[in-house]
Amino acid sequence: MKSVITLLSLVTFGLTATLSVEAASLQDQLAAVAAAENAGKAQEQSLEDARQARFDREAREEHARRARIAAASAERQRQRDAANAAEKSRVLAEHQADKKRDQGYEDELRQLELEQRKLALKREAARVAREDEYIDQDLKSRAARTDVVQSEADATRNLSQGGRDLLQSEGKAREKKAGSWFN
């Protein structure tokens, strides 16, 4: 703006000097003033165009700078998101591996328990299948105990009868001896 005013003053001063030297006609003077005004307006317009061009250039540069900042920010966010996704994926994979190991262990425990139950059932089925044998053995065992008791009773009775017979024969023998003449 200062340069415009300075330019106008120079143009006016130059015109005044030119007008006094040449002493031109009024028409020439008016034409000169109009030309000076047009030149001033043209210069103002060119200055305004330059200012507008500089403003537009600065706006484009600012827009480009903001776009670069936004792109860099978006790239950093994308990298953070990718890192977070990779970490989530790693943690999930680790969790699934742990879960798979735990499930495998639990499956083995269940399998072992099932096998133990199957063996217990087989053992019980075998015992039931041989129950008649167990009953026969039990009956034979009881019969054997009965036979032992019977044998002991017979032996005791035999001893008792043997002792009685002995006593009777000894008693008879004493009676006979006592009844005989030669004692």
The answer as to whether 107 is a domain residue is yes
| Per-residue confidence band for 79, with pLDDT thresholds at 50, 70 and 90 | very high
Is the pLDDT score of 16 beyond 60?
no
| Per-residue confidence band for 121, with pLDDT thresholds at 50, 70 and 90 | very high
pLDDT confidence of residue 131? 80
Task: For residue 90, give the amino acid letter.
Answer: R
The answer as to whether 167 is a domain residue is no
Q: How many domains does the structure of the chain reveal?
A: 1
pLDDT tens string 80-114 = 999 999 999 999 999 998 888 888 889 999 999 99
The answer as to whether 19 is a domain residue is yes
pLDDT tens string 18-70 = 545 454 589 998 998 999 899 989 999 999 999 999 999 999 999 999 999 99
Pick 101 or 178 by higher pLDDT.
101
DSSP string, 99-157: HHHHHHHHHHHHHHHHHHHHHHHHHHHHHHHTHHHHHHHHHHHHHHHHHHHHHHHHHHH
Domain span including residue 121: 2-155
